[in-house]
Structure 1
């Protein structure tokens, strides 16, 4: 079943730039690798090759900021590679005052192998392990997932209980839901973010354009609704899938989020995030500025409190923390059983699944989640 899912993913989710935007050469003076096709390269950027547990070798770049206390692990969108993202990464490092590690998925840029859902999970795992080489701790890491990159970002996030934060930029509910508003998660769907976002324990920022014609803004709004730890979202009026970086509000809101995250104390006992008064007020902006999002058709959990209210309850007693942990464990067990039930239902009706996939066949081949190519076009028009 895993191979079948990866096969479906390869048909409609991955469009690496062809040819790649960069080549790699070794600087004779320093012995360091560098891009041969990127202008104005900076001395504070390390170019790396990382081995994944799938046997591929992926290319990554680490932007060092000596004054940074936090590090962003950036999973880029489709139709892009890190050669095209080089200047975006270096500028974000400066303006947000963070270290930043960006990487190419298998089959993208000069990374070996072919792209698949499971390979992207192995890719981000290798990138995250690389951060250990630089002494970056889990509690000082923020995951950034753009478009398709929201898939590997959330897959990694649910396994990191001490993660500092998550940023979702034009995220998807799942691969299939980009094309068709299915109400149940089907076995051949990929990047089932809708099922994973409720399991993320750290603050989550969602950014989405209201006029996104590739991934409707309802994807971002529904994911935000399902977050445990909501941070004030950014719905960029008039923004599409590929031009959000051009809006002044984009960078301002990212700075605001990073500032609030920096003021949070380090996680206690591997679970709790305890803000001081300033960060508590900043993170509670989500409650005061919450927009009325379209009701969820796939998943609803209106009983989950906001980040601020959860923090107040955490300060009560240890016994209440244990009780909540027990309840969360039961909820996760129930979700797991629900997903297994859905899987059994779909396998009980193989013809229905095949017919659904056949109907989507042409749509599958026509969909691409882009970012850099159309961003260039937008910039040229401005």
Structure 2
């Protein structure tokens, strides 16, 4: 992807004074020696959600919401910023987003000793690309995709075709991920389950 496209797609927010958050940050190193800012909300529960945020989001904007989500869902949650976002070093682009996702996942498994079969990936918007990429290359319990994108070309031109030069191409990758399907359907009461 060119520099102009990267600036449009990876529009890292500048807002957020991280010192105002009374939380401990973890700094995880990528294979390119970039530092990825992360925060682990540890509720000592069996399941851990690795959240891959949307385009114009960062930990500062998401912390309060996911602190409550971790309580309501009764799960641990690890939040992280892509390179160029928040406190993370490096340049924001597709390749670095994937590398940071692998580094964070590997940190969870190798340093925090979280079992892969207890990790749920949750990707929102552009973060769906990171979640899908991690899911097809690492072992996980499941994947939640919220407002997922099919591909960059699909966003720009509303087409269902996959082109060789397309990027952020979830539609091509997700077909190789055959592990778990989750369907959320409306029901009147729990006796219908």
TM over 0.5: yes
Evaluate the alpha carbon distance shift between residue 6 and residue 156 of structure 1 in structure 2; reply closer, same or farther with a 3 A threshold: farther
Tell me how many residue pairs correspond in the alignment.
189
Q: Which residue matches 1:146?
A: 124
CA shift, 1:145, in A, is: 0.2
In structure 1, runs of 5+ residues without a counterpart are 24-35, 204-228, 236-255, 257-280, 283-382
TM-score after normalising by structure 2 = 0.89
Q: Which residue matches 2:11?
A: 15
Cα distance between partner residues in 2 of 1:74 and 1:47: 15
Evaluate the alpha carbon distance shift between residue 8 and residue 186 of structure 1 in structure 2; reply closer, same or farther with a 3 A threshold: farther
Cα distance between partner residues in 2 of 1:54 and 1:187: 27
In structure 2, runs of 5+ residues without a counterpart are none
Evaluate the alpha carbon distance shift between residue 57 and residue 94 of structure 1 in structure 2; reply closer, same or farther with a 3 A threshold: same
Q: Which residue matches 1:333?
A: none
CA shift, 1:53, in A, is: 1.3
Tell me which structure has the larger Cα radius of gyration. Answer: 1
Local SS of the residue matching 1:158: helix
CA shift, 1:78, in A, is: 1.3
Q: Could you tell me whether the CA contact under 8 Å between 1:75 and 1:153 is conserved in 2?
A: yes
Q: Which residue matches 1:107?
A: 84
Cα distance between partner residues in 2 of 1:172 and 1:183: 12
Cα distance between partner residues in 1 of 2:98 and 2:2: 12
**1:156 and 2:166 are equivalent in the alignment:** no
Q: Which residue matches 2:155?
A: 178
Q: Point out 4+ residue stretches in structure 1 off by more than 6 angstroms.
A: none
Bigger fraction of residues in helix:
1
Q: Could you tell me whether the CA contact under 8 Å between 1:8 and 1:188 is conserved in 2?
A: no
Cα distance between partner residues in 2 of 1:163 and 1:142: 6
Q: How large is the Cα RMSD of the aligned pairs?
A: 2.2
Q: Which residue matches 1:201?
A: 178
